Chain A
Amino acid sequence: MHELSVTQSILDIVLQHAKERKVQQVNLVIGQFSSIVDDSVQFYWDIIAKETLAAEAKLHFERIPGEMTCSSCNHVFHPGSETFLCPACESNAVRVSGGREFQVDSIDVE
């Protein structure tokens, strides 16, 4: 249910950067470790963006998969759901190296 406040924040940022221009598309970059449901954001967007210059804007979600890097063998991989161990050498010397993104990257305006 946190998508409502998230969507409100996205809209505020978009309108601030649109500077009175009509917004065609909103380009979002969302990492796997940031929890957000696309359909739910779109649902709230359709309601709260009404009667703004972003009413017809399309939301584009660029999804960044979770990424881990093994410090033992330098292997870079997307973690599985049951274990985070390195699939190449089974080391647990593994660190999160991607997937935290949660930002409005750009907007397309007329």
Chain B
Amino acid sequence: MCDGHNHTHSHTTTRVPVAEQILSANDRIAQRNHSLLHQKNIYGINIMASPGAGKTSVLLKTLEALQGRLKIGVIEGDPAGSIDTERAIKAGMPAIQVNTGGECHMDAVMMEDALSQLPLDDLDLLVVENVGNLICPANFRLGTHLNLVIASIPEGDDKPYKYPGMYMGMQALIVNKIDILPYVPFDMDYFQQGVEILNPGIATFPLSCRTGEGLDAWADWLVEKARAEITPK
């Protein structure tokens, strides 16, 4: 930058205050998505969990339990493939597949794009099945009303301690696969202690998609939550 001339000058540095959330651009689009859901009278939930925790099983069982009560649409986020979308369509739901490429989470732009492809005027409930990952999806707001985390018994009881960000970023928790509790070491008190500290008073639903135990309590709660926000069509 200095051209060697014999003059005196100094490169001054100015500190510019910014104080802006890193994901503010994403959050603005999420807010737009939320407004669209509100305008279309749709309750949105964002399901987050590790791969194999049972997101799709919970989704399909929830659909069964809500039959005739709410019309459901689905957005399936996966790095690749459309297995879950095909399952959802087969089960009678309009479903859109979002392939994130290598990305480990869905973001508000992907959500916005998927929303434009769904028959929103016919839906009461929109379920987003996020990419299976416990690290970052909770950081990226989508515009849904509810962030749901599904934990499962075989994952172990230490997950709240290992993934505090995820357990802080939810508004409801399902503990799936409780039917295998007799066979694996899982200290429910230890698990729930971590959850309670990170997220006091969180609504928690222990259930088993295999036996059906606990599913009604979850489905009834979800309908009540949705009806507090929307009027079913």
Question: Quick check: is A34 within 8 A (CB to CB) of the other chain?
Answer: yes
- Indicate whether A107 sits within 8 Å of B103 (C-beta atoms), given known contacts A84-B198, A92-B197: no
On chain A, the residues within 8 Å of B122 by CB distance are none
CA distance A66 to B167 in the complex (A): 14
- In residues 26-66 of chain B, which contact A (Cβ within 8 Å)? 26
The total of Cβ contacts below 8 Å across the A-B interface reads 108
Output the nearest chain A residue to B167 by Cβ-Cβ distance. Answer: A33
**B136 & A108 in contact (Cβ 8 Å cutoff):** no
On chain B, the residues within 8 Å of A108 by CB distance are 13-16
Question: Quick check: is A72 within 8 A (CB to CB) of the other chain?
Answer: no
- In residues 125-149 of chain B, which contact A (Cβ within 8 Å)? 135-136, 139-140
- Indicate whether A2 sits within 8 Å of B158 (C-beta atoms), given known contacts A17-B18, A92-B193, A109-B14: no
List 7 A-B pairs, minimum CB-CB distance, nearest first: A2-B136, A84-B197, A104-B18, A33-B165, A1-B104, A106-B17, A94-B197
**B139 & A34 in contact (Cβ 8 Å cutoff):** yes
Interface residues on A, range: 35 or more
Interface residues of A (CB under 8 A from B): 1-2, 4-6, 9-10, 12-14, 17-18, 21, 24, 28, 33-35, 66, 68, 79, 81-85, 92, 94-96, 100, 102-110
**B168 & A109 in contact (Cβ 8 Å cutoff):** no
On chain A, the residues within 8 Å of B107 by CB distance are 5
- Indicate whether A107 sits within 8 Å of B15 (C-beta atoms), given known contacts A9-B25, A13-B24, A95-B200: yes
On chain A, the residues within 8 Å of B23 by CB distance are 6, 9, 102
CA distance A33 to B166 in the complex (A): 9
Closest-CB distance, A71 to chain B (whole angstroms)? 10
Question: Quick check: is B11 within 8 A (CB to CB) of the other chain?
Answer: yes
Question: Quick check: is B21 within 8 A (CB to CB) of the other chain?
Answer: yes
Closest-CB distance, B77 to chain A (whole angstroms)? 13
- Indicate whether A68 sits within 8 Å of B14 (C-beta atoms), given known contacts A1-B102, A2-B136, A13-B24: no
On chain A, the residues within 8 Å of B154 by CB distance are none
